[in-house]
Structure 1
């Protein structure tokens, strides 16, 4: 019998969750800050992105992915870069529900 543990997982199995995301088909600029964006403009864009994430059926899976691969930029699973970095530093997910 062959040992298949080292073989890559089928792409569909690893990424199929993305087909069900609330952000699918939306402009990615909503989720990633342009160069030089700061202050109130950044907070407004992030709040709009997080509102999309709040209703997403795969929010938890998205956040798990971002944490696992250490996504450096953008809103993933309803959390921004700083929020994800705090989770990675403490090893604890926030108390909010992440579906």
Structure 2
């Protein structure tokens, strides 16, 4: 596991960040709120976007953005 993951605010709440919760607005809002207070949000977002640019797939909220938001950012050629 990457060193930054140990400092992530979500490290003990991973169930909020799985790929199925996008349909549950309450879980979505909770996950995004956790991300925006996290000291490693930017590195998490960069890791997710790097992973997704290689093609293995998208999942849940990472770095404060949903999979759909990250896909849009990748298409635009930038990160949040």
TM-score between the two structures when normalised by the length of structure 1: 0.68
Measured in 1, the distance between the counterparts of 2:19 and 2:74 equals 21
Residue 6 of structure 2 is aligned to residue 24 of structure 1: no
How far residue 85 of structure 1 moved from its aligned partner, in angstroms, is 0.2
Structure number with the higher helix fraction is 2
Q: How does 1:1-20 map to 2 (within 5 A)?
A: 15-20=2-7
User: Which consecutive residues of structure 2, in runs of 5 or more, have no partner in the other structure?
Assistant: none
Measured in 2, the distance between the counterparts of 1:76 and 1:61 equals 10
How far residue 33 of structure 1 moved from its aligned partner, in angstroms, is 4.1
User: Which consecutive residues of structure 1, in runs of 5 or more, have no partner in the other structure?
Assistant: 1-10, 95-99
Measured in 1, the distance between the counterparts of 2:75 and 2:50 equals 13
- Picking from 36, 39, 61, the partner of 1:54 is 36
Query: Structure 1 residue runs of 4+, over 4 Å off?
Result: none
TM-score between the two structures when normalised by the length of structure 2: 0.83
Which has the larger Rg? Answer: 1
